[in-house]
Chains A and B, each alone.
Chain A
Amino acid sequence: MDAIFHNLMLGLDVALTPLNIMWVFIGGLLGTVIGMLPGLGPATGVAVLIPITYGMNPGTALITMCAVYYGAMFGGSRASIMINTPGDASAIVTCFDGYPMAKSGRAGTALAVSAIASFVGGMIGMIGLIFLTEPVASFALKFGPAEKFSLMLFALTATITLSEGSILKGFIAMGLGFMMSTIGMDAQSGSDRFLMGIEDLRDGIDFLVIMIGFYAVTEVFKNFGDLEKQYDVDAKSIGKVWLKWSEFKESFMPMLRNSPLGFLVGVLPGAGGTIATFLSYAIEKSVSKKPEEFGKGAIAGIAGPEASNNACSCGALVPLLTLGIPGSGTTAVMLGALMMLGVRPGPVLFEQHPEVAWGVIASMLVGNVVLLLINLPLAVPLVQLLKIPQRIMLPLVLGMGFMGTYFLNYSSFDFILVSVSALGGFMLSKLSIPIPPLVLALILGGMTEQSYRNALTIANGSAGIFVEKPISLTFLVMAVVSLIYALRKHKKSA
Chain B
Amino acid sequence: MNKKWTLLGGLLASIVMAGSAGVASAADWKPTKPIEIIAPAGPGGGWDLLARTVQKALTEEKLVDQPVLVTNKPGGGGAAGWNYLKGKAGQGEFLAANSPLILQNNILGKSDLTFKDFYMLANLMAEWEVIAVKADAPWKNGKEFFEAMKKDSANMHVGVGPALGNDDHIQMLMLAKAYGVDPKSVKFVVYPKTASEQIPALLGGHIKAITISLGETLEQVKAGKIRIIGVSSEKRVEAIKDVPTWKEQGVDFVFPHWRGIQAAPGLSAEQKKFWDDTIAKMVQTPTWKKALENLDWDSYYQNAADYDKFLAKQDEEMRTSLKAVGLVK
Contacts and interface: CB of A to CB of B under 8 A. Distances in A.
Nearest to B159: A454
Interface in B196-255: 196-197, 199-201, 203-204, 206-207, 216, 218-220, 222-223, 225
A185 to B, nearest CB: 7
A130 interface: no
A329 B201 CA distance: 19
Nearest to B218: A344
B319 interface: no
A341 B108 CA distance: 37
Contacts of B218: 344, 346
A409 B190 CA distance: 25
A42 B108 CA distance: 34
Contacts of A324: 219-220
21 contacts: A43-B43, A47-B43, A141-B203, A142-B204, A185-B110, A187-B164, A188-B164, A202-B76, A203-B74, A269-B193, A319-B196, A325-B216, A336-B49, A344-B219, A346-B218, A347-B219, A347-B225, A446-B192, A450-B190, A450-B191, A454-B191
A347 B165 CA distance: 31
B148 interface: no
B42 A329 contact: yes
Q: How large is the interface on A (under 10, 10 to 19, 20 to 34, 35 or more residues)?
A: 35 or more
B286 interface: no
A54 B294 CA distance: 13
B187 interface: yes
Contacts of A340: 49, 52-53, 56, 291, 294-295
B72 interface: yes
B222 A348 contact: yes
Given A329-B42, A336-B44, A269 B56 contact: no
B200 A269 contact: yes
A142 B206 CA distance: 8
Interface in B44-97: 44-45, 48-49, 52-53, 56, 71-76, 80
A333 B190 contact: no
A406 B201 CA distance: 35
A209 to B, nearest CB: 13
A161 B211 CA distance: 41
A325 B195 contact: yes
Contacts of A144: 201, 204, 206
B45 A185 contact: no
Interface string A344-355: 111110000000
A44 B193 CA distance: 19
Nearest to B219: A346
A140 B200 contact: yes
A141 B200 contact: yes
B163 A190 contact: yes
B197 A269 contact: yes
Interface string B161-175: 011110000000000
A143 interface: yes
A339 interface: yes
Contacts of B222: 346-348
B196 A269 contact: yes
Contact of A145 (B74, B206, B296): B206
B204 A47 contact: no
B52 to A, nearest CB: 7
B327 interface: yes
Interface in B86-136: 108, 110
Which 9 pairs of residues, A with B, have the shortest CB-CB distance?
A346-B219, A347-B223, A141-B204, A332-B44, A47-B43, A324-B219, A144-B206, A333-B44, A342-B294
Contact of B163 (A185, A202, A335, A348): A185
Interface string A418-460: 0000000000000000000000000000110010011001101
Interface residues of B, number: 54
A86 B204 CA distance: 35
B189 interface: yes
Contacts of A344: 218-219
Task: Point out which of A190, A192, A269 has the most chain B C-beta atoms below 10 A from its C-beta.
Answer: A190
Contact of B190 (A269, A270, A346, A454): A454
A43 B72 CA distance: 12
A365 interface: no
Interface string A30-49: 00000000000001101100
A17 interface: no
Interface in A276-331: 319, 323-327, 329
B207 A450 contact: no
Q: Which of B48, B164, B206 has the most CB of A within 10 A?
A: B206
A325 B206 CA distance: 17
Nearest to B206: A144
B205 to A, nearest CB: 8
A190 B43 contact: no
Nearest to B217: A324
A336 B206 contact: no
Given A141-B200, A269-B196, A410 B49 contact: no
A361 B206 CA distance: 31
B269 interface: no
Contacts of A246: none
A145 B195 CA distance: 15
A189 interface: yes
Contacts of A141: 200, 203-204
Nearest to B80: A411
Contacts of B193: 269-270
Nearest to B79: A202
A43 B44 contact: yes
Interface string A41-71: 0011011001000100000000000000000
Highest count of chain B CB atoms <10 Å: which of A46, A192, A332, A342: A332
B305 interface: no
A460 to B, nearest CB: 5
A252 B291 CA distance: 48
B154 interface: yes
A409 B219 contact: no
B302 to A, nearest CB: 23
Interface in A10-31: none
B22 to A, nearest CB: 37
B189 A336 contact: no
A323 B163 contact: no
A342 B293 CA distance: 8
Interface string A107-151: 000000000000000000000000000000000111111000000
Contacts of A202: 75-76, 110
B196 A143 contact: no
A336 B294 CA distance: 11
B319 to A, nearest CB: 15
B85 to A, nearest CB: 14
A344 B220 CA distance: 11
A210 B106 CA distance: 30
Contact of B189 (A43, A203, A346, A454): A454
Contacts of B195: 325
B192 A187 contact: yes
B157 interface: yes
A319 B223 contact: no
